[in-house]
């Protein structure tokens, strides 16, 4: 069956709410038709610049305005990144995803450094992904030229619920950045978080937004919120494994060719729960003991789980060929010194304001 780009919320809700055994069977069938069910892609997430972010994302301990235990760091050096990438490769990762706590990319020295990191990791024959906030078309082209394989930019939730989570940027900014990445050869990684207090309708709304993109994202991370003390969402109840399995299975059915990525929240899941997610169509994970700033299962634990389930890590560039890295000197796209105007809706989100006030009181 050809991939559909016209899923409606009603159709997606109908899938999400099916009796679980039927949902699992359907998702596993779609999965087998489109992927090897015994192969799982493994990425290592590396925080190359931690904390001090000006945004107000209600789930994020890296937002400067909340008082959390996250220690901020300046941008890592290219050599530090290379050393970490080599470690990740030795432990079975085929992809390194570099995250920087920025609102958007700014042309200049730091971005030039990130471009060098991309070239360096690509030369290690690993897939390189970046998550750096909003980017312009020229910045996306420069990343592509450096050899970037994927760009991550999550939609987080439905357009309606996004307004309850973040007030410092709009949903359209997210879609525009994804559109800028799509103008290049770089693949798109975009997903969201469940457990932020959103309704099942919102979850379906997010899947509509993702599945109606054409082409659909090559990678869709499904995160379960890890509530962090000091953030506005510190008291959210963890989502149940059934909700996670339903979300993974529904994503698999509506986006058959996508790699559905089990992301944050894996430490709260049993091995059996994770196995059920793989059966439901999840076929990529983040490895390493930290996911940017929140805990993640140990690499050895993951490899043991893979062994007991008979799963194999996917080799690099199995889905798409390795991009070439153009050197900085030969680059066709130059630093334009752009100052794009990304939106700032600035509406009030009560729980974000409260968390900020508590943080000020602690300071
Ligand atoms: S999620 Fe990203 S943009 Fe939002 S506060 Fe955290 S680091 Fe900043």
Q: Residue 41: in which H helix or E strand, if any?
A: strand 39-49
pLDDT under 70: residue ranges of the chain: 1, 288-297
Decide if 99 contacts 120 (C-beta within 8 A).
no
Kind of pairing between the strands at 290-291 and 294-295: antiparallel
Examine the residue annotation and report whether 32 is marked as an active-site residue of this protein: no
Indicate whether residue 60 lines ligand 1 (CB < 6 A). yes
**Residue 294: what pLDDT?**
62
Distance in Å, CA 311 to ligand 1 centroid: 33
pTM: 0.95
Distance in Å, CA 38 to ligand 1 centroid: 33
**DSSP, residue by residue, 180-200:** HHHTSS-EEE--EEE-SS--H
Examine the residue annotation and report whether 60 is marked as an active-site residue of this protein: yes
Structure token pair of residue 85: 């990438």
Q: Which of 129, 130, 174, 277 is catalytic?
A: 129
Indicate whether residue 48 lines ligand 1 (CB < 6 A). no
> Which residue, by CA, sits nearest to atom 2 of ligand 1?
101
Distance in Å, CA 231 to ligand 1 centroid: 12
Does 57 appear as a known binding residue? yes
Examine the residue annotation and report whether 53 is marked as an active-site residue of this protein: yes
- In 318-357, the DSSP E strands lie at none
Does 60 appear as a known binding residue? yes
Q: Which of 57, 130, 182, 266 is catalytic?
A: 57
Nearest Cα neighbor of 285 from 143, 91, 100, 70 is: 91
Q: How far apart are CA 291 and CA 225, in angstroms?
A: 12
Examine the residue annotation and report whether 130 is marked as an active-site residue of this protein: no
Indicate whether residue 57 lines ligand 1 (CB < 6 A). yes
- Cα dihedral 160, 191, 265, 86 in deg (nearest 10): -150
The beta-carbon contacts of 354-360 under 8 Å, at least 24 apart in sequence, are 354/232, 355/58, 355/65, 355/66, 355/230, 355/231, 355/232, 355/234, 356/56, 356/65, 356/66, 358/67, 358/230, 359/65, 359/66, 359/67, 359/230
> Which residue, by CA, sits nearest to atom 7 of ligand 1?
101
Q: Which of 65, 97, 130, 246 is catalytic?
A: 97
Residue 259 phi/psi, 5° resolution?
-90, 115
Q: How far apart are CA 230 and CA 228, in angstroms?
A: 6
**Residue 295: what pLDDT?**
63
Examine the residue annotation and report whether 277 is marked as an active-site residue of this protein: no
Q: How far apart are CA 203 and CA 358, in angstroms?
A: 30
Does 130 appear as a known binding residue? no
Atom index in ligand 1 nearest the CA of residue 56 equals 5
Atom index in ligand 1 nearest the CA of residue 103 equals 3
**Residue 293: what pLDDT?**
62
Nearest Cα neighbor of 100 from 58, 53, 137 is: 53
């Amino acid at each position: 069956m050809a991939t559909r780009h016209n899923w409606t919320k009603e159709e997606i809700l109908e899938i999400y709410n099916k009796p679980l055994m039927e949902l699992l069977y359907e998702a596993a069938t779609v999965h087998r038709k489109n992927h090897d069910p015994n192969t799982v892609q493994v990425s290592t997430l590396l925080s190359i610049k931690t904390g001090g972010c000006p945004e107000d994302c209600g789930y994020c301990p890296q937002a400067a305005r909340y008082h959390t235990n996250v220690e901020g760091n300046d941008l890592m050096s290219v050599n530090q990144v290379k050393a970490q990438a080599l470690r990740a490769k030795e432990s079975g990762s085929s992809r390194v995803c570099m995250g920087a706590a920025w609102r958007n990319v700014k042309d200049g020295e730091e971005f030039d450094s990130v471009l060098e990191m991309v070239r360096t990791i690509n030369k290690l024959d690993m897939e390189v992904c970046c998550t750096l906030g909003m980017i312009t078309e020229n910045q996306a082209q420069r990343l592509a030229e450096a050899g970037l394989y994927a760009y991550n930019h999550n939609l987080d939730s439905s357009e309606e619920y996004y307004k309850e989570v973040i007030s410092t940027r709009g949903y359209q900014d997210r879609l525009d950045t994804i559109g800028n990445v799509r103008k290049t050869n770089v693949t798109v990684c975009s997903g969201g978080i469940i457990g932020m207090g959103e309704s099942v309708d919102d979850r379906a709304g997010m899947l509509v937004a993702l599945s109606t993109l054409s082409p659909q994202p090559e990678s869709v991370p499904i995160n379960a919120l890890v509530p962090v003390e000091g953030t506005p969402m510190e008291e959210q109840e963890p989502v149940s494994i059934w909700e996670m399995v339903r979300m993974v299975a529904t994503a698999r059915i509506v986006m058959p060719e996508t790699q559905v990525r089990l992301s944050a929240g894996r430490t709260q899941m049993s091995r059996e729960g994770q196995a059920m997610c793989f059966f439901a169509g999840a076929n990529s994970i983040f490895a390493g003991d930290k996911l940017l700033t929140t805990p993640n299962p140990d690499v050895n634990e993951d490899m043991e789980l893979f062994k007991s389930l008979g799963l194999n890590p996917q080799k690099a560039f199995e889905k798409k060929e390795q991009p070439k890295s153009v050197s900085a000197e030969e680059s066709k796209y130059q630093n334009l010194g752009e100052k794009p105007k990304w939106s700032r809706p600035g509406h009030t989100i009560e729980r974000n304001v409260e968390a900020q006030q508590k943080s000020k009181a602690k300071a």
